[in-house]
Structure 1
């Protein structure tokens, strides 16, 4: 019994060092999130949480375990106070302290019993359960629609950023060509200007 208490105490310590980050891009991978958060401390582990009710079971949240609880608090305050950038794109990300229920692999709390039962149609809680089931289905349809829209917008933004970077690069090459080919020197002589 004592080993169970020690295991659960170690798990609770892990929970204190963990940050829950929500509203991530569905395209964000563990390596990208780790690179973004490594500046605040030592990231031990990142677990992307899949939303199985939405399109393609994409990740929308993550549990980030840090070296200590102070680093976790720093991440929470930084994300709350400044924009969170992933791959050059700002994201309206939310962060908060993790809680025990967020972990699907947590050990059983010593002394706790969970009881489950089937609800029959004559049970007083049956209507409440059916209402919750309908709400969950409706929410899943809404979430799928919103996720499709978000993916379309992110792909459009990525394309615009790529086109913008290509245009800037082409302008830079043109300026380099003008400077290297002697055209700038000839123009400076013609207009009686000095080149720095």
Structure 2
């Protein structure tokens, strides 16, 4: 018969797994994406109850590239994953399409230990047969991290450049709109002064 402690551990783990089912993992996010941006983007698909940005401990400058987004129900989470997977989905006016997939237990910093699971680890000595393999893996991880940091930096530079271009384009369109509106007002004023009808043959 299971003890009270074992029962509590199982209940905690079951509740945690329900939370996992309600959570969406987002990546390829722009650094400009914030919690309000995510909530606004998904409010039509479900009620966002919690957002946790996953820090990148390999490169803290890009600590907002991934996020765990918890919804009210597992169905809402599934709808968002389906929507993002079906259509290109952008946030913060960036051309970077957001990716989404179901969250996994290993993605959460604070997670209960699975009942009955035992973890074993040990330090490798230089004389250990697996030492060179571990050393090679460590080197590859460091190399890939540096390559990723370089690519992310270039990507951010391109996004900032595009953002400035979009701003200048919008500003130019706004000035054109102001000019057209000014011409229209001047035309109406002149028409009124000279008692002229500017309406076309259709009455517009």
Using the size of structure 1 for normalisation, the TM-score is 0.91
Match of 2:124 in 1: 119
Match of 1:11 in 2: 16
Report the Cα offset of residue 165 of structure 1: 0.6
Give the conservation status (yes or no) of the 8 Å contact 1:46–1:65.
yes
Secondary structure in 1 aligned to 2:118?
Answer: coil
Distance 1:97 1:159, change over 3 A: same
Report the Cα offset of residue 67 of structure 1: 0.6
- Name whichever of 43-52 and 82-91 sits farther off: 82-91
Give the conservation status (yes or no) of the 8 Å contact 1:55–1:147.
no
Match of 1:37 in 2: 42
Report the Cα offset of residue 182 of structure 1: 2.3
| CA distance in 1 between partners of 2:198 and 2:47 (Å) | 55
**1:82-137, Cα deviation, whole Å (9 max, x unpaired):** 11121233422211111111111101112211112110011111111101100111
* 1:137 and 2:130 matched: no
| CA distance in 2 between partners of 1:70 and 1:24 (Å) | 23
Q: State which structure, 1 or 2, has the greater radius of gyration over its C-alpha atoms.
A: 2
Match of 1:66 in 2: 71
Q: Find 1:23's aligned residue among 20, 23, 28.
A: 28
**Pairwise mapping of residues 27-106 of structure 1 onto structure 2 (< 5 A)?**
27-54=32-59, 56-106=61-111
Give the conservation status (yes or no) of the 8 Å contact 1:36–1:85.
no
Structure 2 residues not aligned, in runs of 5+ = 1-5
Match of 1:171 in 2: 176
Secondary structure in 1 aligned to 2:44?
Answer: helix
Using the size of structure 2 for normalisation, the TM-score is 0.88
Query: How well do the aligned residues superpose, as a CA RMSD in angstroms?
Result: 1.8
**1:146-178, Cα deviation, whole Å (9 max, x unpaired):** 111011111101100100110010011001101
| CA distance in 2 between partners of 1:87 and 1:98 (Å) | 23
Match of 1:128 in 2: 133
| CA distance in 2 between partners of 1:57 and 1:194 (Å) | 57
- Structure 1 outlier segments of 4+, above 6 Å: none
Structure 1 residues not aligned, in runs of 5+ = none
Match of 1:2 in 2: 7
In the alignment of these two chains, the number of paired residues is: 192
| CA distance in 2 between partners of 1:55 and 1:150 (Å) | 16
